Homo-oligomer: A and B are copies of this chain.
């Protein structure tokens, strides 16, 4: 065993990970010791010999990215961060593993400590976000040169990540795009929770990755010399690199290693003691021998030097300011003016367009004003209207473009966008049909949980898509997004609101937005001054009858047109009717009670939305009516589908009649 630094071997450095991990899990009596102990040797080599991170400046733009995709092995990451000296990752945090308000959550949580590059735990997300990071790195390099941007993205993953379907989407896209600075380390330990992986898979991972355009390497995951050699090779790969590390899960625990018993439970007092003896670890729990700490700090020191050298390069670079603005994703100052001007044009011209088309109109303004945005679609470009003029495709080996052909990979697209946003430098947006947010749910949830700016362009947002039928007609999807914390769902009624929604989404740096956009055309319902962004209030009186109100009709999106028509008919009968457009419930909830009350009023309320009722009772009250969907949709031209399900102005008028007679 080689002793690299002050007589400390890489195995000693790895054993520090093992000890911290098993002791933290033991103290919490909760967690997963098997993976950190099994991958400790690989981690020790990777972090001490290759990984360029600097604990004194963890957010250095050109640092290598490290993603622990098998997030249940979080103690590996926390151990390494502590050993390297990340200031937030104190020994107290390690001791408080999985305890309330600690930085050391059960799974790595982005934002808990600088150095945690992504939230992982739901399997397969990390390996896919890393594709986005590696792509962002190449896209930045294409713009600013390899002097400023030139780092690797390293990923640990396990059987779970590679069994999940999203892994296919990730590796197919990464292989296609030839992201050769992306390196996966596969913890090939043959064990999952249920037992031997042979219970459920017979795959040849090496052949699989080769088929997807990766270079494949194999190594004994407990042989530091071999690990070092293989990383040297993997870094030279002309394709993304897959390094299968043959490991023993829970390596070091003499009686339990190699079994599913070490996967997800504490080793137990006796086995912890036996492991100490077995690996020759004499320190008390949470105490690291000084020479080992020194060796790890020395590794960190190399990161600091690399960072300082890079900063010098950056200082001297002529495009420094541009790079910094790009990396910080600073929006152009005139964007608000440009958006308002576009709104003014819409109000003048009053186009009848689908809101997906209105979204394209808004994107023309945004993409023209700024090159921060990276567009894309999961193979529905002509339907999602996501590719504006002049946006060139990103291609294998050519990363100067601004449009990603994500392929028919909704989940992969969402997770890759998360990775792009996490990396820094870009604001990603991507399109598919609203119904297929189902496929992307796992990654959309992570956008919200991590609190990052990703914009989902979800067109064909209701039964209004017509002939494609129930499989393609969203019913529950608005509710799904409304129920998700820290996520904005916009369902704009016309081209003005669509513009406003985009303006808000671009400015929301700490939460993702989902745009629910129509296939079918809608008239411009807004009029008058559009200098103020009304959508920012979430809901507003589109039609205000003044002091006296007999009825309030609440609606969103394409049904606002119906609400307006119903109001017109009811007014002909002499009623005073308010129409409320509610493009974003979440923003409306954030308004003060007085504003909310002024909008909702105290008159009887009817809501109309071509979707499930769930959630509407909050706005219509106990005596209110809801006109919407109670079943799945139907395949037919859109007007007939609306008629079939009774989502019509007539239905509103009838309901109003019943309510007001009572």
Q: How far is the CB of A489 from chain B (nearest CB, A)?
A: 11
Q: Is A165 an interface residue (CB 8 A)?
A: yes
Q: Is A435 an interface residue (CB 8 A)?
A: yes
Set B100, B193, B204, B641: member contacting A634, Cβ < 8 A: B100
User: Do B98 and A467 touch (CB < 8 A)?
Assistant: yes
Q: Mark A481-521, 1 if CB is under 8 A from B, else 0.
A: 01111100000000000000000000000000000000000
CB contacts (< 8 Å) of A167 on chain B: these are 165, 168
CB contacts (< 8 Å) of A374 on chain B: these are none
User: Do B121 and A468 touch (CB < 8 A)?
Assistant: yes
User: Do B121 and A486 touch (CB < 8 A)?
Assistant: no
Q: Which of A103-111, A227-235, A267-275 contacts B (4 or more CB under 8 A)?
A: A103-111
Q: How far is the CB of A614 from chain B (nearest CB, A)?
A: 4
Cα(A30)–Cα(B519), bound, Å: 14
Q: Is A225 an interface residue (CB 8 A)?
A: no
Which residues 430-448 in A have Cβ within 8 Å of B in the complex?
A: 435-436, 438-439, 441-442, 445-446, 448
CB contacts (< 8 Å) of A212 on chain B: these are 203-204, 208
Q: Which of A144-152, A171-179, A351-359, A554-562 contacts B (4 or more CB under 8 A)?
A: A171-179
Given contacts A163-B172, A164-B165, A480-B480, contact A201 B467 (CB under 8 A): no
User: Do A381 and B193 touch (CB < 8 A)?
Assistant: yes
Set B101, B102, B382, B468: member contacting A194, Cβ < 8 A: B382
Cα(A377)–Cα(B193), bound, Å: 11
Q: Is A406 an interface residue (CB 8 A)?
A: yes
Given contacts A202-B176, A635-B109, contact A192 B469 (CB under 8 A): no
Given contacts A480-B483, A635-B105, contact A469 B175 (CB under 8 A): no
Which residues 386-414 in A have Cβ within 8 Å of B in the complex?
A: 393, 396, 405-412
Cα(A514)–Cα(B123), bound, Å: 22
User: Do A379 and B438 touch (CB < 8 A)?
Assistant: no
Copies of this chain held together in the complex: 2
Given contacts A122-B438, A160-B408, A632-B486, contact A31 B379 (CB under 8 A): no
Which residues 576-629 in A have Cβ within 8 Å of B in the complex?
A: 612-615, 617-618, 621-622, 629
Which residues 175-193 in A have Cβ within 8 Å of B in the complex?
A: 175-176, 192-193
CB contacts (< 8 Å) of A173 on chain B: these are 200-201
User: Do B192 and A203 touch (CB < 8 A)?
Assistant: no
Q: How far is the CB of A437 from chain B (nearest CB, A)?
A: 8
Q: Is A640 an interface residue (CB 8 A)?
A: yes
CB contacts (< 8 Å) of A176 on chain B: these are 200-203
Q: Which of A85-93, A295-303, A339-347, A470-478 contacts B (4 or more CB under 8 A)?
A: A470-478
Set B166, B200, B438, B475: member contacting A405, Cβ < 8 A: B200
Set B101, B379, B486: member contacting A160, Cβ < 8 A: B379
Q: Mark A632-655, 1 if CB is under 8 A from B, else 0.
A: 101111001100100000000000
Cα(A277)–Cα(B199), bound, Å: 56
Cα(A448)–Cα(B441), bound, Å: 18
Q: Is A466 an interface residue (CB 8 A)?
A: yes
User: Do A483 and B614 touch (CB < 8 A)?
Assistant: yes
Cα(A17)–Cα(B470), bound, Å: 24
Q: Is A159 an interface residue (CB 8 A)?
A: yes
Tell which of A101, A106, A448, A622 has the most Cβ of chain B within 10 Å: A106
Cα(A479)–Cα(B660), bound, Å: 32
Q: Is A308 an interface residue (CB 8 A)?
A: no
Q: Mark A105-125, 1 if CB is under 8 A from B, else 0.
A: 111010000000001111110
Q: Is A238 an interface residue (CB 8 A)?
A: no
Which residues 191-248 in A have Cβ within 8 Å of B in the complex?
A: 192-194, 197, 199-208, 210-213
Q: How far is the CB of A140 from chain B (nearest CB, A)?
A: 22
User: Do A71 and B202 touch (CB < 8 A)?
Assistant: no
Q: How far is the CB of A16 from chain B (nearest CB, A)?
A: 23
Q: Is A64 an interface residue (CB 8 A)?
A: no
Set B203, B213, B396: member contacting A172, Cβ < 8 A: B203
Set B193, B408, B613, B629: member contacting A164, Cβ < 8 A: B408
Tell which of A109, A199, A396, A469 has the most Cβ of chain B within 10 Å: A469
CB contacts (< 8 Å) of A201 on chain B: these are 172-173, 176, 407
User: Do B164 and A169 touch (CB < 8 A)?
Assistant: yes
Given contacts A98-B636, A194-B405, A631-B485, contact A165 B411 (CB under 8 A): yes
Cα(A326)–Cα(B213), bound, Å: 46
User: Do B122 and A436 touch (CB < 8 A)?
Assistant: yes
Q: Is A8 an interface residue (CB 8 A)?
A: no
Cα(A102)–Cα(B634), bound, Å: 10
User: Do B467 and A631 touch (CB < 8 A)?
Assistant: no
User: Do A442 and B438 touch (CB < 8 A)?
Assistant: yes
Cα(A471)–Cα(B449), bound, Å: 8
Q: Which 4 A-B pairs have the closest CB atoms?
A: A165-B165, A200-B407, A168-B168, A121-B471
Known: A160-B408, A207-B211. 12 other contacts (CB 8 A): A105-B635, A109-B470, A165-B165, A172-B201, A176-B201, A202-B213, A204-B210, A204-B211, A207-B210, A439-B442, A483-B615, A615-B617
